[in-house]
Amino acid sequence: MVKPSHSMRIASNLLAFSFFFLFLSFISIPVAEATVHYHKWDVKYEFKSPDCYKKLEHLGLMEQKGLLSVQLFLEIPSNISLLLTGLEHTCTMPIMECRERQGFYGSIRVSLPDGESEPFAYDYDRSIILTDWYHNSTYEQSVGLSSNPFVWVGEPHSLLIQGKGKFDCSTPGIPAGVCNASNPECSPYAMTIVPGKTYRLRVSSLTALSALVSKLRDII
């Protein structure tokens, strides 16, 4: 009787494994697929009034979950960096890292590993971003900070809750037509809640200078 050689045994094992792999490939295994969202973004300069005071800003992003398929049309003369962080907001921090990225930042939610759950139960998950807002551009602020004599940026003109705030349009010296307190762009941020439901609220303070304290009243 002829004994199989070592190489023949390896070939036999590989053949058996191949048949087993092919068998598994025919088994239907359900796989969760993420929703794909298709968007066309026109990045351009537009006048916006997040605190009722009109100012030139970048425009073009939104909040979205899932996979994104994006067509980007650059309609401004400078380059941009896109940071897809979940929320649509603006930035006026007078620092080098933010000078060329006005408008692209937000909060990042980190999901739990598979098989793990939160130590508390809730029905809805909401995020709120608090920011301070300057009417001067980051270029004006950065020039002042690097000048001699030094020019401080001062206190922010407004505080924004989820990208909305209220500047006092009766402030002396404001040019006519620049500030409009009835502009719907600066209407107060409102969150609709359902009675009897539990909400997880993630509050992020992304202010450049301000230290903020928030409080919820009459909430059970």
**Rounded Cα distance, 138 and 6, in Å:** 73
Of 182, 136, 181, 189, the C-alpha closest to 160 is 189
Model confidence pTM above 0.85: no
CB atoms within 10 A of CB 50: 23
Residues in the chain: 220
* pLDDT bracket for residue 140 (50, 70, 90): confident
Contacts of 206 (CB under 8 A, 6+ apart): 89, 91, 105, 129, 130, 131
State both tokens at 152. Answer: 């401080």
Cβ(103)–Cβ(90) under 8 Å? yes
Residue 18 pLDDT: 41
**CA separation (Å) from 151 to 87, 97, 141, 144, 145?**
32, 20, 8, 5, 5
State both tokens at 196. Answer: 């009897």
State both tokens at 55. Answer: 């100012």
pLDDT at 1 over 70: no
* pLDDT bracket for residue 70 (50, 70, 90): low
Percent of the chain beyond pLDDT 90?
Answer: 16
DSSP result, 36-80: EEEEEEEEEEEEE-TTSB-EEEEE------SEEEEEEEE-SSS--
Please write the tens of the pLDDT for every residue from 166-206.
999 999 988 888 999 999 999 998 888 898 999 999 888 88
Residue 215 pLDDT: 78
Residue 86 pLDDT: 42
- Tokens 């968007």 belong to 39
β pairing state of 55-59 and 36-48: antiparallel
Higher pLDDT, residue 193 or 139: 193
